[in-house]
Amino acid sequence: MKILYFAWLRTQLGMAEEVIELPENILKLEDLLEHLKARNAVFEAAFSDMKVIRIAVDQEYVTDNVSLEGVQEIAFFPPVTGG
C-alpha cells in the first residue's frame, strides 16, 4: 500500500511517500494511524492532533475509520489552502 504525505506533514516527516506491507493485524484506518505513531517520536508528534490532518483513501476524502481491505493509496495532509 502506498502512503502519501503533503505540505507540512511531508516536510515534518521528511518523506513524500512510502510503500508499506501492512501487518496482518492492521485492518482499519485507526489501526494504521496507531502503527505509524508507534514508529518514532517524529511520527507521533506529526499525528498528535488529528484535527489538523485530512485523510484521503484511494483519492477520496474519508472521515470514518474505514476498512483498508483492497486499498491502494492513502494520503495524509493538512487542510487544503489552494484557490
Q: What is the DSSP string of the chain?
A: -EEEE-HHHHHHHT-SEEE-PPPTT--BHHHHHHHHHTT-HHHHHHTS-GGG-EEEETTEEE-S--B-TT--EEEEEPPP---
Nearer to other proteins, 14 or 61 (CB): 61
Q: Which stretch binds other proteins (CB under 8 A): 3-11, 18-26, 33-41, 42-50?
A: 3-11
Among the listed residues 1, 3, 6, 43, the single contact to other proteins using CB under 8 A: 6
Task: Decide if residue 1 touches other proteins (CB under 8 A).
Answer: no
Quick note: the x/- pattern for other proteins over 16-55, rule CB under 8 A, is ----------------------------------------
